[in-house]
Structure 1
Amino acid sequence: TATNKSVGIVQLMEKKVGKDGKAAYTHDLRELVVDGANNRLYVTGHSGEGSVLFVVDTQSLKVINTIPGLGNAKAPGLALDAKAKRVYTSNLLAEVVTVGTDSGKVEQRFKVSAEQPMNIALDPAGKRLFVTDQGSEMIRKYQASSSGFESKHPGQRVLVLDRTTGKELASIPTDAGPLGILLDAPRKRLYVTNRDGGTVTAYNSDTYKQVATYAVPTHPNSLALDAKKNVLYVTVKNGDSEPKGSEESVARIAL
């Protein structure tokens, strides 16, 4: 960061020739999380033919494992419990899948009541898992193409789960298209980006009551917190009306 230059490149996969005769990468990349104490980087690679978890050594910048079994669907969510040596992922088969960081294998999977489980936030002090359930019509149409799928919930909420059993503990209504999620455990605040609503909503993480709404441009996406300064940063994706090639932005919210 001091020089604003690349210090290395990690090649997660190679291109393969598909049935159409064209070379392409086997997985799309979405989320990553760093385990600094153990020099590990975890990256979800999702694919309808089988999503995986890439494990990277952050010192050598080499892939040391590719863990299969995250589900034959897109796997958007990722959270790390370094103390318990667990990685949690979500997929669009309405599953939460748990991977052991020591075993390098899928150790648990359970169905959840969220039809479109997206990003995940972990309660470090308890058993709770917070999952955005997006409720996207586009995703619903994609899911409908799967045999036997029947939509039973419109989404647009945060689902609170017991991460050991998958049991639903609470359902928190959000604005349209909830996506990114971040838990500030010391301050008991849960923040959610609502991609289609153009807002960031804040909740008391104990009572699940909404305490604030912040309007941001177009499509709020991901979240990062400067806990020391109590400042929230929000990446903002361009909308369809933005000129092609225009720069995207980051919003700063002083909490």
Structure 2
Amino acid sequence: MKRFLVSCVLVLAGSSLRGQNPPLVLEKTIYLPAVQGKFDHFAVDEAGNRIFAAATGNKSVEVIDLGSGKILQSLTGLGKPHGLAWMASTGQLFVADGASGVLDLYGGAPLGLVKSIPLSEDADDMVYDASSGLLYVGHGGSDAAHPGRIAVIDTKNLTQKASISATSHPEELEVDKSTDRVFANIADAAEISVIDGRTAMQSTIWKLTGAKNNVPLAYDEEQHILFVACRTPARLLVLDGDTGKQLANLPSDPGADDLFYDAETHQVYLIAGSGAIDVYRTDEKNVKAAGVIHTAAGAKTGLFVRSRKTLYVGVPGSGESAASILVYSTR
């Protein structure tokens, strides 16, 4: 792995690099006046042209038509929906409910609750490995009585295959399909848990240096590069995906909560709750800031859909201000 040469100058908020096309273009805004509070994670049904939004503040999951921008269905009765995963092959939606400590499965048309799989408090982010049919879900970790765990769910028979220990609460997870590994951000411990997908066991732990409170991450499978966004201080760390060695440390906006890598444009999109999307460009030898896009305070999560060349960002609703989804083109 070649060492990255780092450009440490972050472009001023709201601007992009002069003489270049903007890294993101706002195409439209989907307004959701019935939704209050913040969003957490999103999922997409590409065949059905729908996006699913975990409206945590609204205690619901909103099913939204991407063509009309209208809410097709609201899944209510949830405590604190966090992670979402859509199974296109079965037409089913998995929802991690942090308040109830369960993984809910919805299916049918309209979507209805099919099954709840018990986990523990603060069931959170999840990642699906399509090659194995396994779903990895982080939960627990608030105190000694509720240790951090990563549940391994067999999505074919809807059972928990394994439970992997974590030092504390697992935040975002990512799959490396080429090596059958799963990376899990363990924010309170400033470490990354590396899981062997073949054995469903932790193979190693990478300790971070220079920053902590690492919440989101993203992976460049071609170059074997792991991007890790930290909140304390606000930095983007670049790691060798084979060894965990730190290759770069760049500034970012505060409150990182979602992170995506675009393999086509070689861009990284860091969504920060302070109201910004930090964009970085990478190649084989370097990573540099490519611009900062203003969003809104509290707009901390979203979804990048590579096939659509689109980045969706959720903006919370409060009082008379409607919640919305910002739709950016990455072309």
TM-score by length of structure 1 reads 0.74
Paired residue secondary structure (2:51)? strand
Residues 114-129 of structure 1 mapped to structure 2, 5 A cutoff: 114-129=120-135
More strand by share: 2
Equivalent position to 1:31, from 37, 41, 50: 41
TM-score by length of structure 2 reads 0.59
Paired residue secondary structure (2:125)? strand
Identity of aligned residues (%): 17
Residues 33-182 of structure 1 mapped to structure 2, 5 A cutoff: 33-47=43-57, 51-60=59-68, 62-69=69-76, 71=78, 73-91=79-97, 92-100=99-107, 103-137=109-143, 154-163=146-155, 166-182=158-174
Distance 1:214 1:59, change over 3 A: farther
Paired residue secondary structure (2:32)? coil
Paired residues of 2:217 and 2:227 also in contact (CA < 8 A): yes
Paired residues of 1:112 and 1:168 also in contact (CA < 8 A): no
Distance 1:37 1:249, change over 3 A: farther
Matched pairs, number: 218
User: What CA distance in whole angstroms lies between the structure 2 residues aligned with 1:200 and 1:87?
Assistant: 27
2:236 alignment partner in structure 1 = 250
2:188 alignment partner in structure 1 = 196
Letter in 2 for 1:254: D
1:209 alignment partner in structure 2 = 202
Measure how far apart 1:127 and its partner are. Answer: 4.2
Cα distance per residue 1:50-73 (max 9 Å; x no partner)? 62222233344x1332322352x1
Measure how far apart 1:38 and its partner are. Answer: 4.1
Measure how far apart 1:179 and its partner are. Answer: 1.2
Paired residue secondary structure (1:117)? coil
Measure how far apart 1:156 and its partner are. Answer: 1.2
- Aligned structure 1 segments of 4 or more residues deviating by more than 6 angstroms: none
Gaps of 5+ in 1: 15-24, 138-150, 243-247
Gaps of 5+ in 2: 1-15, 242-331
Paired residues of 1:110 and 1:165 also in contact (CA < 8 A): no
User: What CA distance in whole angstroms lies between the structure 2 residues aligned with 1:184 and 1:67?
Assistant: 33
Paired residues of 2:147 and 2:167 also in contact (CA < 8 A): no
User: What CA distance in whole angstroms lies between the structure 2 residues aligned with 1:164 and 1:51?
Assistant: 28
Letter in 2 for 1:172: I
- Determine whether 1:222 maps to 2:208: no
User: What CA distance in whole angstroms lies between the structure 2 residues aligned with 1:52 and 1:172?
Assistant: 28
Distance 1:185 1:112, change over 3 A: farther
Letter in 1 for 2:53: V
Paired residues of 1:129 and 1:161 also in contact (CA < 8 A): yes
Letter in 1 for 2:164: I
Paired residue secondary structure (1:250)? strand
Letter in 2 for 1:95: V
Distance 1:220 1:40, change over 3 A: same
Measure how far apart 1:10 and its partner are. Answer: 1.5
Greater RCO (CA < 8 Å, at least 6 residues apart): 2
What is the RMSD computed on CA atoms of the aligned residues?
2.6
